[in-house]
């Protein structure tokens, strides 16, 4: 295995309408092991198992980086940092008050999932140790660049990994039926801003995208496909 890079970790929760999947990622290097997003609450054992499959343990995590505040991204944060203390937590400053419980989360967990996760706290006082902003260069995984992509939430961020030309999109984009698409309109309060944010990706040479919902996309000219989606704008 390379000394640094990006690994995807697929999680899933069974719902009446089928499996709901998430794709957190792992930025690994000799000095740091960073989990990007955490899945729905109550899945710490699943997260731990996926880390084991990748050759790591949950105890080895040095930090957790959150692309944004949504419950399916921050769900296991509190349980992880309470069970395995000493880990740093990274998030954009605009979403920090929500993650730290100073403001109510903008979106709630769907009722079918809430029944499974109600006894797991989503917030528990101040937990974010480091705030991020556009252009921050972090050493994680051999180096990633923070890209502010607001719209889905005020403090939504994506990450670009230059060494592998990978974009960790968070929820800025998603994949449905194998097709790369813009953000989920039902879950994006400022859809216009979210599509405007996609234009920022043109500054980076992208060969593959990791979407939290849908996994990997690496078909054809990825930058051109992103530009097409951004130009088309929200579809009514």
Domain of residue 15, residue span: 5-232
pLDDT at residue number 125: 79
State pTM to two decimals: 0.94
Question: Using one digit for the tens of pLDDT, what is the confidence trace for 48-64?
Answer: 999 999 999 999 999 99
26 pLDDT above the threshold of 70: yes
Give the confidence band of 114 by pLDDT, cuts at 50, 70, 90: low
- The more confident residue out of 175 and 108 is 175
Provide the domain count of the chain.
1
Distance CA 109, CA 196 (A): 26
Tell me how far CA of residue 99 lies from CA of 21, 94, 182, 201, in angstroms. Answer: 22, 10, 24, 26
Question: Using one digit for the tens of pLDDT, what is the confidence trace for 176-205?
Answer: 999 999 999 999 999 999 999 999 999 999
CATH number at residue 194: 3.60.15.10
Q: Which two tokens stand for residue 41?
A: 């609450």
């Amino acid at each position: 295995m390379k000394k640094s890079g990006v690994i995807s970790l697929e999680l899933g929760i069974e719902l009446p309408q089928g499996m709901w999947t998430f794709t957190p990622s792992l930025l690994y290097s000799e000095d740091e092991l960073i989990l990007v997003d955490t899945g729905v609450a109550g899945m710490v054992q699943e997260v731990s198992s996926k880390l084991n499959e990748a050759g790591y343990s949950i105890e080895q995590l040095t930090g957790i980086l959150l692309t944004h505040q949504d419950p399916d991204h921050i769900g296991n944060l509190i349980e992880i940092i309470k069970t395995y203390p000493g880990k740093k937590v990274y998030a954009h400053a605009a979403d920090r008050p929500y993650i730290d419980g100073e403001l109510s989360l903008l979106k709630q967990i769907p009722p079918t999932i809430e029944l499974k996760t109600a006894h797991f706290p989503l917030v528990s006082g101040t937990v974010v140790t480091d705030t991020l902003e556009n252009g921050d260069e972090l050493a994680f995984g051999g180096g990633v660049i923070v890209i502010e992509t607001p719209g889905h939430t005020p403090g939504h961020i994506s990450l670009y990994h230059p060494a592998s030309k990978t974009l960790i999109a968070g929820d800025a984009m998603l994949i449905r039926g194998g097709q790369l698409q813009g953000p989920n309109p039902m879950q994006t309060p400022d859809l216009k801003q979210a599509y405007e944010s996609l234009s920022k990706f043109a500054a980076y040479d992208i060969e593959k995208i990791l979407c939290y919902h849908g996994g990997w996309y690496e078909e054809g000219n990825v930058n051109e496909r992103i530009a097409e989606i951004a130009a088309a704008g929200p579809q009514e």
